[in-house]
Each structure stands twice: as structure tokens, then as C-alpha cells.
Amino acid sequence: MRRTAIEDEIQRQFGAAARNYLTSPIHARGPDLPVLIEAAGIEGSEEALDLGTAVGHTALALAPLVRRVVGVDLTAEMLAEAARLAARRQVGNLVLVRADVADLPFARASFDLVTSRYSAHHYPAPQEAVQEVARVLRPGGRFILADTIAPDEPALDTFINAVELLRDRSHVRDHTIAQWRAMLAAAGLASDVYYGWDVELEFDEWVARMQTPPDAVAVLRRMLAEAPSAVRSAFHIRGGDRLHFCLKGVIIRAWHAHPR
């Protein structure tokens, strides 16, 4: 398995925070999860792959609907929590694999469905990851990407990525929709935007889930509370001591542009 500095940071950050993701309402439920299932167009015989599966919320939602689902993550502690959660729910068709999304240990055209939910902004090499998706996806299969995104406006893009990185040192980038679709096209995948929503966040829970250091929390609170009016409007920043704000989320659906 290839190792980079950001991958080491991912393992440190998420290894320590793994259990927090079991009860995170955004990850465990979230309004996007049933929409992701809908976008997948599942028939019941699919071999599915969930990238950045973490504690397995998406993979476990897929499991009753498909023949088999493979959950891939880089962090051993996340996979251990996913295995325990699957055992408690008596799910028998989930396989967990520790691997790099940019170097998947699967043969070409192995899966009918590939998903990635709330993980792609951590990918150190997103174009390579998308190329791997195209490689393992069967003709006629679908890739469903659900993630937070950056707005098109450069100032808003800069603000939200700075906030995300300060909160979580394993953050790489919230890409724009146009950037994701360009990466998909470069991998030979056609795409459309299936769904967009506001990811509602409560500040204290958001930083606690990632165990953000207190000094960074103080800076983040000030950045949000004192943001320019255009930023406050774009991310719906509100509240005083109990800050709330929104990230932008999107579900992008992709498939082979020219099935082989």
C-alpha cells in the first residue's frame, strides 16, 4: 500500500475519532443517504463497492439491497468499528478491506455499483481514485459520489477549504461540481448532478467529532462568527454561542460514457 503524508494524517485523525462516527447523525442517517440509494437504481443482484466506508453506514444501507457489498477504508480503526456494527446487525454480505482508493486491489470490471459518501474530500489523489473507479466499474454500472463541495466563487471556495483544513488536518479539498465532473470525464465517465442539499452543522458537535484542538476551535469560531456578510449568507452562518452553519452537498451520478 502506498503511503503519503496525508494518508498518515488520515489514519491518525480518523483512528482516534472512529467511534464518534458511529453516532454522527449526518453520517448514520442524513437526508442524502436514501437519495443515494435511489440514485443507484439497485435491482438486487449487484456487486457493490463503498469507498471510504468509515464505520460502514453507507455499506450497511446497501447490504440488504445488493448481493454483496465491499467496504474499503484506509483506517484500520474505522474498519474495526464497521465490523462490529455489521455483526450487531447480523449483516452477512459485507466484506471489509483496508486499501487505498487510488490503488484498489480488485480486478477490472468487478463491480456494478461504486459509492463514495463524505469521503472524497480526503482523497490525496482524486483523479487517480476516479480512474480506479472507472477501472473496476462494469459496463452499465454506476458510480454515486456524495460529498461536500466548494462553491464556484473563488472567495467562498477559499473560505470553506481553509475552515475545513483548520478543523481537520486530513482534509484535502472540497472540489467544485465542475472540478468533479471534469475529473470524471477525464476517466471516461459521463455524469449528471442528481441532488443538492445543505449539510446542516452544529459547530460544537462538528469540532468534537474530529477532536479539533482547542486553539483551532477558537480560531474557527471567530472565523465563522466574524465572516463577511457574503460568506455568512452563502453558508447560512447563524447563532452566537451556539453557532450553526451549512456546507453544500451534492450527489453526482456517473457511468461509462462509452461502455466497453
Dihedral sign of CA atoms 76, 130, 200, 66 in order: negative
Question: Is the model's pTM score more than 0.85?
Answer: yes
Are 129 and 101 a contacting pair, CB within 8 Å? Answer: yes
Residue 13 has what pLDDT? 53
Residue 15 has what pLDDT? 45
* DSSP state for residue 103 in the 8-state scheme: B
Are 235 and 246 a contacting pair, CB within 8 Å? Answer: yes
Residue 209 has what pLDDT? 87
Residue 240 has what pLDDT? 77
Are 246 and 199 a contacting pair, CB within 8 Å? Answer: yes
Are 175 and 126 a contacting pair, CB within 8 Å? Answer: yes
Q: b/e for 75-84, b at 16 or more Cβ within 10 A?
A: bebbbebbbe
Residue 21 has what pLDDT? 56
Please name the residues in contact with 233: beta carbons below 8 A apart, sequence gap of 6 or more.
none
| pLDDT < 50 positions in the chain | 1-2, 14-16
Residues listed for the chain: 260
Cα distance between residue 114 and residue 40, in whole Å: 9
Cα distance between residue 158 and residue 258, in whole Å: 35
Place of cell 466499474: 137
* DSSP state for residue 121 in the 8-state scheme: G
Residue 22 has what pLDDT? 58
Which run of H or E residues covers position 71? strand 68-73
Structural domains of the chain, with CATH: 5-150+171-199+248-256 (3.40.50.150)
Residue 241 has what pLDDT? 79
Q: What are phi and psi of 141, to 5 degrees?
A: -80, 175
Residue 1 has what pLDDT? 45
Retrieve residue 151's grid coordinates. 462553491
Order of strands across the sheet that contains 94-98: 94-98, 68-73, 47-51, 111-117, 137-149, 244-256, 189-202
Q: What are phi and psi of 248, to 5 degrees?
A: -95, 130
> Among 235, 106, 93, which residue's Cα sits nearest to residue 163?
235
Retrieve residue 160's grid coordinates. 470553506
